[in-house]
Structure 1
Amino acid sequence: MVGFDEALSVLENPTRREILMLLVKEPHYPLQISELINVSQQAVVKHLKVLENADFVNSEMVASEKGGPPKKMYKVDQSFSIRLDLGPDLFRTEHRKIPSGGAMKLSNKLPIELAGVVKRMGTRRKLDLAEAIDVLGELDIVLEKIDNQRDAIIAMHQQVKKKVSSSVSEHSNSYEERRLAHAVMNQPRRPVDLDLFSHGLRIQSMDAEEMMENLRERLLRDLASSKGDFVAASKGTPLPWWLAK
């Protein structure tokens, strides 16, 4: 799968986005694309080369329907989703591969309200147009609901960052310490790569480790003051990664 930065670089060009919007529907050849989007064939070929080099599309020679020479046809060769959330106390990027497989294979990943759609789809290879439009309408309704829920969760995420910002500033003695606190919040379920962190800030690894130790002690104090000296948890509850040394 193409990387996040490369994907943004490729997609920032509006002409390439126009080309992709055509190719996701069906394969096209350069002259056909040129006529449809009113851009010179030479420019279209250049854009297609960029898309092909980035593995967004691939091409193959297809025999002409009118008996002429074979034509080079292009089609989309990537399935992924890109998200960028930006705002005060908010910067999140996601680059996710779209899962493959039919309705039955995807069923355990789908919301319960789509059980009827899964049943209708089953293992069928074809749908008529009317039924496809109906199913797509149902999928759009659920997708919009999930998007709205995600937006609300992201807003909550942003509010948490806003509410803790004063505490981070108050208990940090340096810019680097604030950056470490934000690094922990940015991936609360995974340990911070201190080597990468120190390299990004151009500080010594041992300094980053010392800051992490100080932050760990502070987190323990916060935990104790908010929940008492002992924190009850059910058996098997995983400890936060920052509790482990």
Structure 2
Amino acid sequence: MVEFDEAMNILENKARRQILRHLVKEPHYPLQLSELLEISQQAVMKHLKVLENAEFVESERVPSERGGPPKKMYRVNQSFSVRLDLGPNLFRAEHRTMPGGGPMKLSNKLPSELDEVINRLGTRRKLPMAEAIDILAELDRALEKIDESRDAVIALHQQIMHKVTPSVSEHSESYEERIMAREIMNQPRRPLDLDLFSHSLRIQSTDAESMMESLRDQLMRDFAANSGNFVAARDGTPLPWWLIR
């Protein structure tokens, strides 16, 4: 599975996107793609090689219908989503693999309003076209609703980051400290990798550790001030990672 940057590098090419748009529908021969895209077969083969090396597609040799030598046919063999959210106080880049399994296996991850769709599908292996169109229309509506909710959550995330910016500037003495604070807020549930952080900013790891200690002290003071109490908890109580020394 390729990473986000490699996926973006591959997909930035319009011809490759067009090739994939055809291959997701059904397998194609290079000659078919050449005719559909109106580019040379040599160019198509070059793009297919890039896609195959990245495991976006796979090929197999199939017997010729006219009795000639076997021909290579290509099909898409990955299911994933590439997301990029960009704006003031916002940069989220994700490469997510689609979950596998049939309707019943997916049911616990789906919105409750799609329960009826799952019941209609059951274990059926074949659907009439009219029924499939009806179900797909319902799935499109569900996706639009999910996207609208996601957009609203991301917009709220932006607003929180905007509101906290003055506090970050007030308590940070350097650019590196501000960046550390933002890195923590961008991934608040995941401990900051200090080695990776120090490498990205070209600073000593000991300096990053010192900044982390200073920031942790500030966070603990904020935490206590907001609650009006000392920071205390029973053994085994889950705490934010930045409260744990």
TM-score by length of 1: 0.96
Alignment correspondent of 1:4: 4
Alignment correspondent of 2:35: 35
Is 2:113 aligned against 1:113?
A: yes
- Relative to structure 1, the CA distance from residue 19 to residue 142 in structure 2 (aligned partners, 3 Å threshold; closer, same or farther) is same
Could you list the structure 1 runs, at least 4 aligned residues long, displaced by more than 3 angstroms after superposition. 230-237
Q: Compute the displacement of 1:66 (Å).
A: 2.9
Q: Compute the displacement of 1:214 (Å).
A: 0.6
For residues 64 and 237 of structure 1, the distance between their equivalents in structure 2, rounded to whole angstroms, comes to 66
Which secondary structure state, in structure 2, belongs to the residue aligned with residue 2 of structure 1? coil
Q: Aligned residues, how many?
A: 245
Q: Compute the displacement of 1:126 (Å).
A: 1.0
For residues 40 and 167 of structure 1, the distance between their equivalents in structure 2, rounded to whole angstroms, comes to 58
For residues 156 and 7 of structure 2, the distance between their equivalents in structure 1, rounded to whole angstroms, comes to 28
Alignment correspondent of 1:97: 97
Q: Compute the displacement of 1:233 (Å).
A: 8.5
Is 2:82 aligned against 1:82?
A: yes
Is 2:203 aligned against 1:208?
A: no
1:125-180 Cα deviation digits (max 9, x unpaired): 11111111111111111111000000000000111111111111111000110111
1:76-112 Cα deviation digits (max 9, x unpaired): 0111111000000100111110001100011111110
Partner amino acid, structure 2, of 1:238: P
Q: Compute the displacement of 1:232 (Å).
A: 9.0
Kept in 1: contact 2:107–2:118 (CA 8 A): yes
Is 2:192 aligned against 1:192?
A: yes
Partner amino acid, structure 2, of 1:178: R
Which secondary structure state, in structure 1, belongs to the residue aligned with residue 72 of structure 2? strand
Alignment correspondent of 1:131: 131
Percentage of pairs with the same residue: 71
For residues 22 and 237 of structure 2, the distance between their equivalents in structure 1, rounded to whole angstroms, comes to 50
Structure 1 residue runs of 5 or longer lacking an equivalent are none
Is 2:214 aligned against 1:228?
A: no
Structure 2 residue runs of 5 or longer lacking an equivalent are none
Alignment correspondent of 1:15: 15
Name the Cα RMSD after superposition: 1.6
Alignment correspondent of 2:56: 56
Kept in 1: contact 2:103–2:118 (CA 8 A): yes
For residues 62 and 69 of structure 1, the distance between their equivalents in structure 2, rounded to whole angstroms, comes to 9
Which secondary structure state, in structure 2, belongs to the residue aligned with residue 217 of structure 1? helix
Partner amino acid, structure 1, of 2:54: A
Alignment correspondent of 1:239: 239
For residues 180 and 47 of structure 1, the distance between their equivalents in structure 2, rounded to whole angstroms, comes to 40
Partner amino acid, structure 2, of 1:223: F
For residues 113 and 235 of structure 1, the distance between their equivalents in structure 2, rounded to whole angstroms, comes to 41
- Relative to structure 1, the CA distance from residue 108 to residue 236 in structure 2 (aligned partners, 3 Å threshold; closer, same or farther) is farther
